[in-house]
Amino acid sequence: MNALPSKAFPLTIFCGKGGVGKTSMALAFALWHADQGRAVLVVTSHPLRELAVSVSLAGLQEAHPQAAANLFISHLDPFEILANKVKQVIPSERIVKKVLDSPIYKSLIEVAPGLKEIAFLGRLHQLSEERSVGETTGNFDLLVWDAPATGHFLQTMKVSQSFEMYLSGPFALLGKEVAEFFADFSNFAVIPVTTLEEMAVDETLELCGKLAAELTMRPSGLVSNMVSPLLVASDFDFDDLRRQAAEGEASKDLQFILDRHAIERSLFQRLRSSLDTEFYAIQRKPSWSSDLGLLWDLSRQLGGMIRN
């Protein structure tokens, strides 16, 4: 089994098509590190209320107290970040309220190219350099970004390279700092996540192609999520079972498994032949008792791929 990048990047980004398990992978990756005693901050593009509905960490404190003590999760809201910028430069609360309530300000936020994205990236960059989650929670060792779906993620990353061309003043300076941070590939690792479904693989290949062509970024690895155990089984003789099936010796259930495996195998080989990166196969579980139980299992699988 391959190992995830051994280098301690200030920022690790999990990205990909919606619904392939980016959030689960980001949380599992963070959970494994947190259980090793490292303080980890997960930045999600989902509001925390939505995240709590989709993935529950209920019971973490009781079951894994060390991981619970070292795991932090935050949602960065671009509107809130921009409002805080306004408050920093205007000392009067009354004037700040007028500015924030102004239709002109609200229109500017919506129509200014890349303004929300650069506010988000600027805060992400700041967190990666300060390694602090506030006075009440202290410092962290690793920053993990659970990125939005492919289109939004690519647009955000494009802004990281071009925003300084749009405006002048403080935001142009912020854009320059963000561009310099993302121009240095030692600052971050990009790890796309995909399932072995045709649409997901197509979008993953498109994502990696655009990262390379438009942003000169190369993934540090690729996670294939929810793969069949047969795909990673060292003692599985696929050709022999296909031969038995062709001779009419396989049951309908086995035939279905073989057909499904053939599709997964073909898509996995397509990814491997198209991309020059490391591949990490995460096996799917047929059932689980809780979200936390599933995340813990995923974290153990990822942990087996991580060099200390």
Residue 68: pLDDT band with limits 50, 70, 90: very high
Average pLDDT estimate for 194-205: 97
pLDDT tens per residue across span 209-266: 999 999 999 999 999 999 988 787 765 666 666 676 666 655 676 777 778 888 998 9
pLDDT score of 169: 58
* pLDDT for residue 152 is more than 90: yes
Q: What's the pTM?
A: 0.88
pLDDT score of 241: 67
pLDDT score of 162: 74
**In the chain, where the domains are located:** 11-236+278-303
* pLDDT for residue 1 is more than 50: no
Check: CB of residue 42 under 8 Å from CB of residue 73.
Answer: yes
Query: 11-236+278-303: which CATH topology?
Result: Rossmann fold (3.40.50)
pLDDT score of 206: 98
- Amino acid at site 138: G
Closest of 229, 217, 155, 160 to residue 192, by C-alpha: 217
SS3 of 136-156: the string is CCCECCEEEEEEEEHHHHHHH
* pLDDT for residue 2 is more than 60: no
pLDDT tens per residue across span 97-121: 998 999 988 888 888 778 889 889 9
* pLDDT for residue 59 is more than 50: yes
pLDDT score of 201: 98
Closest of 191, 143, 145 to residue 8, by C-alpha: 143
